Amino acid sequence: MQDMIKSGSSAVTLLSVCKPSQLPLSVRFLCSRDPNPKGQQAHSKNNGQGVVKKSTTTSRTEGSWNDGGTGRGKTSTVRQSPIFPKSVFAAGMAKRTAEMLMKKSAVVSQDQNVHVAEPEGMTTRRAAKMQPPDRPLSAAEWKAMKESLGNSERFGTGMMSALYSSGADLDIAKSLLTFVAMETGTLSYELLLRYLTLCVSGGHDNEVFDVYNIMLGSFPSLETGASSLFIKSFGRTARWREAVNILHRLKKIFTPSQRNYSDVISAAMLHGDTTTAWALYDELIEKGLSPIQETWDALFKGHSSTYEEEGKEAQTMSQSEIQERLLGILLFMRINQIYPQHSLASSIKTWFESLTGENWTGSWTDTTPKGVCRCCGSALESIQLTQEEYHQLKHRVMSDIIEGKDVFNKTTPEELEKFKAFVKKKPTFDVVVDGLNVANFSKDKSKMSEMLLAVVSELEHQGLSVLVLGRKHMLRPSRSWERHNMDLIRQKAHCFFTDNISEDDPFLLYATLHSGDHCKFVSRDLMRDHKACLPDGAARQLFFKWQRGHQLVVDGFVALGRRVRFQSIPSYDTIVQSTADSWHLPYDDTDDRCTYEVPQRWLCLFKKH
């Protein structure tokens, strides 16, 4: 640092607004030597739910359950809503449902315009909130502002954060640094880090280079935040190889993040060094990290004909090698059930269409309710599990969820064994109903048993063998649980009522899987906690596929005298898939898809013959 100043280097431009006579005599103390300011730690690891005809059947009670019916033929399927693709798992459905319910239940508060007094001190804090200036200030002006805001020791870092948040001009930030340096004789690591963040976000890469030199000369080490920012900035310039060096230094301390790898891989591809890019990609995968979509986007773009024509593509890989590597990315997406965003899907489409002599054509499309591509007419993979997949899933659910180490936090060994014996002596079920969950679909607590009865009656009307799971308190007559309705339910379906402290879901999963692959279940519970009990991604993805093909959700509101409808169950699997002459990629075209939802739009890639 001193050497740079003595030699008259122009590198320290962030301090160029200071007159030399105003700077502290010992420039080596300009920056604090503490790389981890108070409250900041260096991390060792970086870590993506009628009119009822009265039955004459009598009810029977057996132990802790009431049971009716002796089994019904599987002569019909569950009546589903004809509207497509209205499924609880369709992308954006959660958001649209929430908005609809808010509109239906919105009540204008009479107190909406009543002024509520602010807590004591709130007005003062708001008044004291830092408002960044709209121009560079002199040291005297900064000093006056600092005093007006209480003369806080953290004025510099707080104001730099405010400048970053407001997108202020770089010269304003420079003038703040000058003031702090003149007042304290030092620039702390934290203040420089916040200034660095402002520079990187604003694209001021030359300024980043200067900050890099200052921080390297003033601190013994750089923590993850600064290193990541330098990688990002250097990676988009001609000095991108320095980003590779920073990444290698980072690896000596901890595992870099996916973003760190992505920035360097993108830089290498942009500058034609495919060898470095793929070496780092392999390293990323070996470390068990899942690449971010920008990484894949860079790889597909880098191998497209556009880059070849511009002479940026280093001829170190044959087309067949490149094709094998990029198709491997699509297989990775399939195995891990990852959906490309529209921008990435566009890059994939461009790459396929650029393949010399292969005649690929890509189109944006969707599917029919039966799972047929509207573009090429190909049938998509079935949502139904193969026999091998079903037995594998059944084993995993039984061992990890139903018989898992925490199962007896949800029930008792005696109750679970009693339920298993109950299911074993019954005919297989067509539908298992989570009674309490379905009943709670009614917002009117006095209509809960009526809601459950309507759903059970619809299923019985379709000739299905139904099991209703409930809790013992549902058998006690009350405002919510009318005796007449509960008696009718026990006449129309097999019923098992657990202890009030038990959870229904393990019983529901056991009965559904025990009954066979044809059996569906009715619940609004998305089973995310239970899916999380499965130990690996492959098992969780298999569970999610089975769930999407077997879960029934009541569609809309149930009106007295009207038949109950259920949301559609898709017939096809939403996953990256291929044939000898086609690829179909479900892609994200919305920002409001929840993690348990699947996209509704597809990229169809097929070969013209």
pLDDT digits (tens, 9 = 90+) for 20-68: 344 433 333 334 434 444 434 443 334 433 333 333 343 433 334 344 4
- Under DSSP, the state recorded for 237 is S
For β-strands 520-522 and 551-552, DSSP reports them as parallel
pLDDT at 53: 38
Task: Name 23's Cβ contacts closer than 8 Å, sequence gap at least 6.
Answer: 15, 30, 181, 182
pLDDT digits (tens, 9 = 90+) for 286-331: 999 999 999 999 999 999 854 445 444 445 788 889 999 999 999 9
Taking residues 265-294, report their average pLDDT. 95
Residue 371: Cβ within 10 Å count: 17
CB 594 within 8 A of CB 105: no
Is the domain covering 387-569 a CATH 3.30.365.10 domain?
Answer: no
Confidence of residue 344 (pLDDT cuts 50, 70, 90): very high
Q: Closest Cα to residue 247, out of 283, 217, 274? A: 283
Residue 96: Cβ within 10 Å count: 12
Confidence of residue 588 (pLDDT cuts 50, 70, 90): very high
Taking residues 394-413, report their average pLDDT. 74
Q: Give the whole-angstrom CA distance, residue 326 versus residue 158.
A: 46
CB 448 within 8 A of CB 442: yes
pLDDT digits (tens, 9 = 90+) for 525-538: 888 887 878 888 88
Q: Residue 242: pLDDT above 80?
A: yes
Highest mean pLDDT: which range of 87-91, 200-204, 416-420, 527-531: 200-204
Q: Give the whole-angstrom CA distance, residue 39 versus residue 19.
A: 33
pLDDT at 435: 94
pLDDT at 478: 94
Distance (Å) of CA 200 to CA 10, 204, 236, 275, 354: 20, 6, 11, 27, 34
- Residue spans of the domains in the chain: they are 131-220, 387-569
Taking residues 278-292, report their average pLDDT. 95
Task: Name 229's Cβ contacts closer than 8 Å, sequence gap at least 6.
Answer: 193, 196, 197, 200, 208
Q: Residue 559: pLDDT above 80?
A: no
pLDDT at 98: 60
Q: What residue ranges in 447-569 does DSSP mark as E strands?
A: 466-471, 494-498, 520-522, 551-552
Q: Give the whole-angstrom CA distance, residue 67 versus residue 581.
A: 54
Q: Give the whole-angstrom CA distance, residue 501 versus residue 580.
A: 54
Of 130-134, 173-177, 223-227, minimum mean pLDDT range: 130-134
Q: Residue 70: pLDDT above 50?
A: no
Q: Give the helix/strand (H/E) hosting 60.
A: strand 60-62
pLDDT at 89: 67
Of 135-144, 437-446, 450-459, minimum mean pLDDT range: 437-446
pLDDT digits (tens, 9 = 90+) for 405-434: 655 456 777 888 899 999 999 999 999 999
CB 67 within 8 A of CB 493: no
CA 376 to chain centre: 31
Which percentage of the chain shows pLDDT scores above 70?
Answer: 75
Alpha helices, DSSP H, located in 425-482: 435-439, 448-461
Q: Give the helix/strand (H/E) hosting 417.
A: helix 413-424
Highest mean pLDDT: which range of 70-74, 80-84, 161-165, 596-600: 161-165
Taking residues 511-532, report their average pLDDT. 90
pLDDT at 595: 72
Q: What radius of gyration do the chain's Cα atoms show? A: 32
Taking residues 156-177, report their average pLDDT. 94
pLDDT at 61: 37
Q: Residue 381: pLDDT above 60?
A: yes
CB 559 within 8 A of CB 584: no
Q: Give the whole-angstrom CA distance, residue 530 versus residue 540.
A: 9
Query: Average pLDDT, whole number, for the chain?
Result: 81
Taking residues 579-595, report their average pLDDT. 88
Which percentage of the chain shows pLDDT scores above 90?
Answer: 59
Amino acid sitting at position 290: S
pLDDT at 99: 61
pLDDT at 406: 57
Q: Residue 599: pLDDT above 70?
A: yes
